[in-house]
Structure 1
Amino acid sequence: MSTRGPLESVPPASPDTAYRTGTGPSRPRDHLLGMTPVWLGLLMVLLFALGACQPVMPVAEGEPPAAEATAPEPTAEAVAHGDPEAGAYLVTIAGGCGCHFNRDLGALAGGNRFEGSYGVVYARNITPHEGTGLGGWTETQIADALRLGVRPDGTQLFPIMPYRDYSALPDPEALDIAAYLLSLEPVENAVPARELQAEPAAFTPDPPPPAESPTDPVARGEILVKLARCGRCHTPTNEDGSPNMEMYLAGKPINEDEIAANITPDDETGIGLWTEEEIATFLRTGMLSDGSQIVGTMATQIERSFSHLTEEDALAIAAYLKSIPPVNHDPFSQ
């Protein structure tokens, strides 16, 4: 797999430049890539979900979310099975492990606090520091934590860590990420213990994580979409907060100002009229068919994450999105 090095972190765009439903485009049937202007807004939000939404985790009222971070460059050669450079690429596509990024230390040293009805958890130090981080872990143990949510001592991670999504990672990709994390500069930062109302249940993925990397582009695209956690913003939820899989990637309001688009291949309300090449080109460049450049939050996320996609991986994501069941659902009309 070819890789691209991550860019430097880009400061967030002003909220005034983000896509807002109150000032969005009207719906006359002007033609642009076979789409109405509203579809242009939909594609903009497609990028937002693929890049901007995924690193964001639930936080307590009044608690600032962790900063997004592109993956830092590896600083040491890992002695194991994984490829640190390939792992850096995957971490960048995943959003840079922003929940673990410690602003004060400038590293993935954890400490960010997340609170809810479940109790309080803290993002862990995932640098290879022997005393406070992953320094005593093997690549296989890190891969198990990523995909099964289990620590070397057998205790279960709280599912605010998205191991349910990461369970789709094949062995080689999981080991690449592990090798990358173990190649970072160790940073000492002791993180407080979690305080939960109840311990999380063991997780057994079905199907289990694949042993081999897929050769089929659609399967590769599915892995990348889950790694980027597109469903967190794009899949409507049930009353209990669980994803409504009958509406998978059909779009929903994110907050008062932004709506995640329907990115299923529905011709009327989704991205069915976009070609795979158009989707892939936009994801990597932010350039629209008329030559104009996307601006604001989406442009920032392109620079941070999806501009690093290889052409093959951008096309794989597009192929996967075009392969899922279409859902006729207009989240903008809610």
Structure 2
Amino acid sequence: MGQQKLRNMEEFAAVSGISRPTLSKYFNDPDSVRRSTRQRIEAALTKYDYRPNVYAVNQNRRRTRNIGVVVPNLADPFFSEIGREVELACIAAGYSPILLSSHGKPSQERANLDSLRALKPAGVLLAAFGKASDRDAIERFNEDVPVVAFDANIEGACEAFVGTDNFQSVDLIVEYLCRSGAPPCFFEMKTPSNPNANKRRQAYLEAMERHGHAPHIHQVPGEGWDFEEVGMTEGGRLISSGAFETNTVLCSNDRLAIGMLSAAYGLGVKVGHGADCTMRIAGQDDHPFSRYTCPPLTTIAQDYAAIANQAASTLFRILDTETRLAEREETLFEGKLVMRASA
């Protein structure tokens, strides 16, 4: 007959002859028990092939080792990449990350926070929707569990924020586009999903003024997460109607730019900075697919790893000291210009 499956720590204690409190102490911190006891427990673990339920063990602690990680949409490779970096930072620090996607719905973001409450996380790393988020719900959650926001800022509702300096980044790419060709128009959705879009629009206006050019902003219908579709349909409509004042378009994000590249191809418009090209298109974010578009997309790269590690280390500092921050912290990383063939 096969070995009996042990369902919980009580059954393991019964068959191993080791008390339940001693086992609990070991699973919370193996170094907290005597070496001889630790050896007995580890031998019993091997003999009975028992592994404790990590989350059940966590639930019995005053403070768990769970870290909630909430992102707007894991179907977006941008958030998959930054979510992966945050997960790795948590694992390296000895925490158990619980990664949740809000699937493009602010209501799901609130539901994710409610679900995390039941798991008693030590803290939460949150990439929020921004303006569409339930600010009051986030603020209430932060009163009980420390929250560090990344990518999208929720002013005052969290302990800290870590993201990209949109004003530096936009100025960098506007300066390049003005220096290398016609000054850019700005293309965005009328109802942006992310608060970074509003900062980028304002940064574009300020950058164009600094460089002595008139700004041209084109806002198109669209909301939610179908950026490529909006970029292709609405961007294509503007290209075919000759609506852009110059032959250079800076898109609010890479996914809109990817859609516009598709529209340009369908219309027979050659994009790039070659002599036979009639249009330049640039984006922002250095989306994982941007280097594989045709032509490859000129953009601004966000430092995923730096943002993820800074957000995580800020949260770990709060947890390790068991002290909330005296003042809200905000850390912004500079973007890096990535010049490719599209502009």
Q: When the two structures are superposed, what TM-score results if normalisation uses the length of structure 1?
A: 0.26
Q: When the two structures are superposed, what TM-score results if normalisation uses the length of structure 2?
A: 0.25
Between structures 1 and 2, the one with greater helix share: 2
Between structures 1 and 2, the one with greater strand share: 2
